[in-house]
Structure formats: C-alpha cells, structure tokens
Amino acid sequence: MAAVVVPLFLHLFNLRQPTTVDFSSLAFVKELQETAVQRVRIKEWLLLALRMLAIASLVMAFAQPTLTGDLAGVGSSVRTAHALVVDNSLSMQVESGQGGSALDQAKGQAQGVLETVGKGDEMMVWPTAREGEGTPSLGTNVGVAQEALSSLEPRAGATSLARAVVRAGEAVAESDAPRRVVYVAGDLQRSTLGDSVATQLPDGVQVRLLPVETRTAANVGVKDVTVTSRIAEVGQPVQLEATLVNYGTDPLSEYVASVYLDGQRVAQSTTTLEPGLETTVSFTVTPQERGWLRGAIVTEDDDFPADDRHHFTLNVPEERRVLVVRGEGQQTRYVDLALSSEMIADRIAFQTTSIEETALVSAELGSYDTVILVGPRTLSSGEVDALVRYVDRGGGVLLFPSGQAEAESYNSLFSSLRAGTVQGFSGTPAGQQSIASFERVDLEHPLFEAVFNEERRPEAEVEQPEIYYTMNLRPSGRSGQTLIELSSGVPFLHEIRHGGGAMLWMAVSPTPSWSDFPVRGLFVPLLYRSVYYLSAGTSVAGEQLVAGTPGELRISGLAPGTTLRLVGPDGAEVAPEQRSLFGATLLEVGRTLDTPGIYDVRAGEQLVRRVAVNVDPAESDLRVASVDSAAARLQSISRTPVQSVSGTGSDDVAETLRTQQAGTEIWNVFLLLALIFLTTEMLLASQWRPETAASE
C-alpha cells in the first residue's frame, strides 16, 4: 500500500514554483481568465486521485480480501479448507437419540459438511482413533474424503477430543485457503473431552461443533483387576479383586460378575452397585493347569458391550528355577532332599541347580526365579552387588546363616537392602536344651496362604521346633516384616522387600545341630512356600495394557539377541520395537495393540508371556457434557471461539451451513475497480483539456 503515495509524491514534486522572469512578449498571459487556471488544477487533482485509487485497488485485489457479516452472501463462496474431526471412540457405539449408533449420526453430520464443499476447497477426515501412526492430509477430492468417512468404525485407543481438534487445526492451518474451519462431530463424552492443558490454535482457524444427540446410557465398567495372591499353584486357591463402577443413574442390586479362566467360568460374585461409586468384589479361583492362563472378569449385558469383559492373565509357572548355593563346609542334605525329584514327583515344578559358594560370583542370577544361600561363609562386594540387583529386578533370595559366617559381609548385604544388622549368635551348636520357641506367627501373610483352612486360620497352631542355636538379626523396621518371631525377641523368619523382589532370612541353618527344624513336618512345606513366594515376584499376574495406548513390556530370563513377537487375539502378529537391557529385553509397543484381548509374547514358537489389553476405563463413563459446557471447555483449551452448528442429519447440517455467514471473496471487485479507475484516468487525461479553452 506504500505504492499509493508514489503519484502524490510526483504531483508534489511538479508543484515547484518556477523563477519569475518578466518578458514583454508574454504580457498577454496575465490576461488569461482565472477560471481556466482553476480547471487545470481540478484536472490535476482528479488525475492524482484516480491514479492513487487504481494502485490501492490493485493491491487489494492481490491480497484476496474476504467479506464476512451480513453481506457475506454477495458474490461467490470463499475458498475454504475443511477439517472434519470425527469421534470414533468406542463410546460412539452407543445408540443415538435419532436411531442408529452415535457414530452413524456423526458420519451423517460430517457428510453434510462435505455437501457444502465448493470448487477449489480442501478437506480431510481426522478420526480420534486411527489405525497405525499415519496422519491425515488435505486434498481436493471429495470422493476420497467421503470414502474415508464411510469407512470409519469404532476403535479403541482414541485420543481426547480436544487434542484431536488442536492437531487437526494445526494441519489445516498449513493451507493457503482464505478460510480454514475445524468441524467436530461427536457425542461430547465428558471423560474423554480433554485435559486442561491449553494449546493456542493458529490464527484464522475456526472451530464448529456438530453435537450428536445421545440418550442416557446405563453401564457398569471394570476399572481394575488385581491378583492379590502372591503364590499361584495348581489346585491351590488364588484370590482376585475387581473394582466395578456403576456409571448409570440407578442402583443395581444382586449384580452378578463372573471370573473365567481359559474360557471356563470358575467363580461368581453378587453385589450391590450404587450410582457413581466404586465397589471392590473378591473372587477365589483354583487353577487346574500350569502356564500363562487367560482370564476375564465378565459383567452383565448393558448399553456398552465393549467393556463387559475385562481381561487379565494368571501365571502358574510351568517350573520354578531354583539355584542352591552351598556354603563352604555347609551341609545341604535336608534342602537337597526336600527339593529332590523323589520328594517333588509331578506335584511341584522345581528345577534345581546346585553350585558351590565359590561359583556364586560368576553365576547368572537372572536365569533363576529363586536363589537359596545355604550357609555362605563370606559374601564379597561383587556378590553383594549382584544379589541386590537381582532382588531389585524381582528376584527372590532365601538366606540360611553359617556358623563360620563373617558378620561384616552379611551386614554389607543387609545394609544394601536397608534391612538391619546381624548381632552375633545365641545358644550352643548341637546343644540339648532349647533356647527359644515360636512366640508369634503372622498367619495372615501371603506366604501362609492356603496352608491353613481360611475359616480356622486365626486359631491355627504351628508346630514348635526345638531351637538350640540362632544367628540374631536386628531389623531396621524400614523395609522388613517378621513372619515368625522367637520368644527371645529375634526373628526366626524375616522378610525384606527391596525393589521388585524380596529376601527371606532364616535365623537357623538347615542342620540338626542348630535345631530340629529340618526333621520337623513344618520344614518341607515352609521351604516350598518360601520358594513359591520368592519366585512369584511380579509374575503371578501379567501386565495389563490399555488398548491403543503406547506401553512397555520388560521380559527377563531370555538369551541375548532373542527376537520376540506379539500374537493378538485375532491371530494377527505384531513386531514391536525391542532393545536389550541388563538381564532383560524391553518391548516398546505403540498404538498397534488396539484390539482388547489376550496377546501372546512368543520367541519363535515358544510362549514367553501373555499380556492383557483392555479398553481405557475412561471410555466406560458414558456421561456426556452439554453443548455449551463442551464448547466452553474446548474454547478454554484451544483459546479459539467455538460455535455450535444445529442439525442431526446431513441435509440439516448442509442447509445450516449454507445459510450461515460463510464468507465471500471480493478480490474480483477490487480488480474491476482498478480497471475502472485506470480507464477513467486515461480518458480524462486525453479528452479533457481545460487549458485550451477560449476565453470570452
């Protein structure tokens, strides 16, 4: 627009006053009439104004201005870039208020937008839940957009509506179209509307809501499933807890939830669910097979079938890999006998490996589920570090003391685990007089689970061995729990939790010179339960991932370089990214696990683990926001005004949009004005000559 002043500058430059020179032959000029001079000045100012207006009109024409407001309907429609954000989350399966699903209505509303597309317009369909990691792009082919719209299906793993609006707005802002609009078609589900993190949409991007009318839906969702038992064995009861939420408006009495293992119903519970409240339901199941079992909590049919089955996995180990470390000069006869194949037969799946104390420093502890240290005399700093790392990563250690033990090396281990200190011995080895008895036994601890009848557990009596000699541990109290306490006040069996694993401390060595415990009936079951408990780690229940949400899986006990793959419930295979960590393989799964169900982790044909993938619990809350509150929420997040478009079908939406102030390009008007001004200037300059007019 600065060019507009050029004619004015030239005009003012030509107004310089010439030098006055009296010349007798020009005396007649003084007789010119004053009116002729005024006409010349008028012509000059008219020409100046026409030239400036012509330049200004040309500039405005190239700027492609758009007319909005009450006069927007004048002229042709402005070229527009349309982004259709369609909510295709699982909640859109619910029946709408107009018949059909909510997604069907949303697709009809988006189709109404496409019916208003003009020549040269750009458009794209942006689902909130997409297959893969691809990003939609703008195009001018309406047929492609219609095909993308019609192919939309409800999917798990949808992003929040606000995030989809912001990302679609950023994509449509890259268009050079004068008008850019994001249309949002969805049920406005409150739980998935979006967080409070504000993100500024690019300037010039408009947001329009196409709300779907939904009816009030009744739904019960399973928020979480927990395997509370630390030990899972064939024929032994396992405790489960499920958290149910009634998202409806009415209380539900005598509500039934069931547990399935490998397709068979194995437990059932009845409860009362109050509206909007969480209720914890307990189940007891008894697995009859080993391995990774497929499990599911199944609720009654309701308006949202996608969350009626919440998947979980239960690991009953095929075998427990046990490493027995013999201390120097230590008898391990009773431990070896208890873990021998003659004692175990087919009832217990132990695979035992025995090494000498000197081989501990080079042992690959990560290959074992439990390490039993039977009377180590010393523990080097390297062995202490290896044991602490092993426990931290979920391993279990059972430590029997040695009469020749160096207290400093034991205390180094206990200090690293923040467990306390060893403070000498009590009694006499191979003595004949008992120095202590069992004072207190914590029968509620998971280690004793299923050992006693649950109804009689409070008054159950534990066999009392004769104790002759003990190594005394003074617990720190910060990370430990005494399971069996002696009458002398020292722990007989003490648990130390650290990281993902645990260590159990026995105050006596498994030899008759310390006590008659090894020959008592309690010894073998307590040893078995200790190995069960320690080897369980975090593997009794497998991981639970959210469908369509990135996650990680840590798989230990594999040979370096092992390639893993995931096999979904429909048989489809997924090759996740994987990288090696110390003693484990880390699998990084993106949004590819978008089908709820049980996924097998396989190394070749070997089943390594099973993983449960479930619907996001937020999807189960079907309550919707009002149009005004949803618009206000999106406006606060996007920092852009959000307006609602009325209409429930494609024809209604198209008619509403056509009658709204869509905007009109008026660059052609300015181009016409520029031609008129230039033509008028040319005619005025050539045809009107006031300086030649004869004076009267």
pLDDT at position 482: 93
pLDDT digits over 605-641, tens only?
Answer: 899 899 999 999 989 999 888 888 888 888 888 888 8
Could you tell me where the beta strands, DSSP code E, fall in 309-369?
309-316, 320-326, 350-356
Tokens of 612: 């449960």
In angstroms, rounded to a whole number, what is the distance separating the alpha carbons of residues 178 and 665? 9
Which two structure tokens, joined as six digits, stand for 130? Answer: 């997409």
Tell whether the model's pLDDT for residue 661 goes beyond 50: no
Cβ-proximal residues to 403 (8 Å cutoff; 6+ apart), any chain? 375, 425, 429, 469, 509, 514
383 pLDDT band, cuts 50/70/90, is very high
pLDDT in tens, 77-94: 678 899 999 999 999 988
pLDDT at 319: 81
Closest by Cα among 596, 584, 524 to 309:
596
| Residue listed under structure tokens 């594999």 | 558
Cα 510 to Cα 471: distance, rounded to the nearest angstrom:
12
Tell me which H or E stretch contains 233.
none
Decide: 547 and 613 in contact? Cβ < 8 Å. Answer: yes
Residue 551 half-sphere exposure, CB side, CA atoms within 13 Å? Answer: 17
Which band of pLDDT confidence, cut at 50, 70 and 90, is reported for residue 222? Answer: very high
Q: Select from 3.90.75.20, 2.60.40.10, 2.60.40.1840, 1.20.58.220 the CATH code of 218-316.
A: 2.60.40.10
CA nearest 378: which of 407, 398, 400, 399? 407
In this model, does residue 23 exceed pLDDT 80? no
The predicted pLDDT at position 77 comes to: 64
pLDDT at 602: 93
Residue 371 is predicted with a pLDDT of: 96
- Looking at residue 668, its pLDDT comes to 81
Pair of tokens at residue 92: 């859109």
Identify which of 17-26, 367-376, 446-455 has the greatest average pLDDT: 367-376
* Model confidence pLDDT, tens digit, residues 354-365: 999 999 999 989
Higher pLDDT, 21 or 334: 334
**pLDDT range class, residue 37, cuts 50, 70, 90:** low
| 175 has pLDDT over 60 | yes
Fold of 543-616: Immunoglobulin-like (2.60.40)
Q: For residue 696, is pLDDT > 60?
A: no
CATH of domain 86-216+623-645: 3.40.50.410
Q: CA torsion 523→526→528→534, rounded to 10°?
A: -140
Tokens read off for 505: 């401390």
Looking at the whole model, is its pTM more than 0.75?
Answer: no
Quick one: pLDDT at residue 583? 66
Q: Report residue 662's pLDDT band, with 50, 70 and 90 as the boundaries.
A: very low
> What's the rounded Cα separation, in Å, for the pair 67 and 110?
25
Long-range Cβ contact pairs of 683-686 (< 8 A, separation 24 or more): 684/43, 684/46, 684/47, 684/50, 685/47
How many degrees, rounded to 5, is the angle at CA 323 between CA 321 and CA 324? 140
What mean pLDDT comes out for the span 259-265? Answer: 95
User: How much is the average pLDDT of 210-218?
Assistant: 83
The partner residues of 516 in beta bridges, in order of sequence, read none
> Do residues 205 and 169 lie in contact, with contact meaning Cβ atoms separated by under 8 Å?
yes
For the chain, the first-to-last Cα distance in angstroms comes to 45
Q: What percent of the chain has pLDDT over 90?
A: 41
- What residue ranges in 110-204 does DSSP mark as E strands? 122-127, 179-186
pLDDT-wise least confident of 217-221, 299-303, 447-451, 681-685: 447-451
| Share of residues in the chain with pLDDT > 70 (%) | 86
Tell me the C-alpha distance between 558 and 387, whole Å. Answer: 19
pLDDT score of 558 more than 70: yes
Span 91-150, pLDDT tens digits: 998 887 667 889 999 999 999 999 888 888 999 999 998 876 678 999 999 999 999 999
Q: Report yes or no: 26 and 642 within 8 Å, Cβ to Cβ.
A: no
Measured from the Cβ of residue 431, the count of other Cβ atoms closer than 10 Å reads 15
pLDDT digits 0-9 by tens, 576-610: 888 887 767 888 887 788 889 999 999 988 998 99
CB 624 within 8 A of CB 94: no
User: Mean pLDDT in the chain?
Assistant: 84
Q: Which band of pLDDT confidence, cut at 50, 70 and 90, is reported for residue 695?
A: very low
Task: Give per-residue pLDDT as tens, 61-77.
Answer: 887 776 654 444 444 46
Close Cβ partners of 542 (under 8 Å, ≥ 6 residues apart): 292, 312, 313, 314, 315, 609, 610, 611, 612
Instruction: Identify the weakest region by mean pLDDT among 170-184, 303-317, 651-665.
Output: 651-665
CATH code 3.40.50.880 for 320-536? yes
Q: Does residue 570 carry a pLDDT above 70?
A: yes
- Please tell me which residue, 229 or 660, carries the higher pLDDT value: 229
pLDDT band at residue 230, thresholds of 50, 70 and 90?
confident
